[in-house]
Amino acid sequence: MDTRCALAVATAALAAAASCTASSSGTTAAQAAAPPMRVGCLQVIDRARRPFAGGYRPVLGVVAAPRGYLPQVVRSTDPRWPYWEKAGMVVRAGPRPIDVSVPVNWRGRAAITWGNGRPAVSAVRFTPCQVTPGAWNAYAGGFFLKTRGACVPLVFQVGHEHRVVRFGVGVRCTGGGA
């Protein structure tokens, strides 16, 4: 076997092993690297006239994120994620995608979803939706949890800017988290 062939076999073996090895959070390397679920214009459920009403919080100037404490956790029908908290997300229409993700070390404890009837995932990308530029688009969705409550961090990213925002899902975050 020549050097190039041996290197290719070794690289493939390492990639296979990495994708089968679970991290301490229960997330495989393949899951950690999975692309975000795309949420597009057809998933918009409403246009919000007052995006920050009801305690919604501004994030990076283009997101109205749910309030810091979300007390209505209920049982889910998904056996992988036994608890659910409904919490819509409001995004300002514009030319750039907006990424929202669960940090890697939380992916065994929490998942998210936005869009109509979409699955639980670790990351979503709100694609540019400029039907009405500057409008605030509302999306249905929320949080899935392994336990009844947690102070869940989410990473919001627009271009090179990012911000971590905590959500008290069924519990109040302490230490300034929410």
pLDDT tens-place values along the chain, 178 residues long: 444 443 333 333 333 333 333 333 444 444 456 799 999 999 999 999 999 999 999 999 999 999 999 999 999 999 999 999 999 999 999 899 999 999 999 999 999 999 988 899 999 999 998 777 789 999 999 999 999 999 999 999 999 999 999 999 999 998 754 4
Residue 127 is classified by DSSP as: -
End-to-end, the C-alpha distance of the chain in Å comes to: 58
Nearest alpha carbon to residue 60 among 86, 94, 84 = 94
The answer to whether residue 53 is domain-embedded is: yes
- Number of domains comprising the chain: 1
Does a structural domain hold residue 163?
yes
Residue range(s) defining the domain that contains residue 110: 24-169
Q: What share of the chain is helix, strand, coil (3-state, %, to 5)?
A: 15, 40, 45
DSSP 3-state assignment of 67?
Answer: coil
Q: Is 10 inside any structural domain? A: no
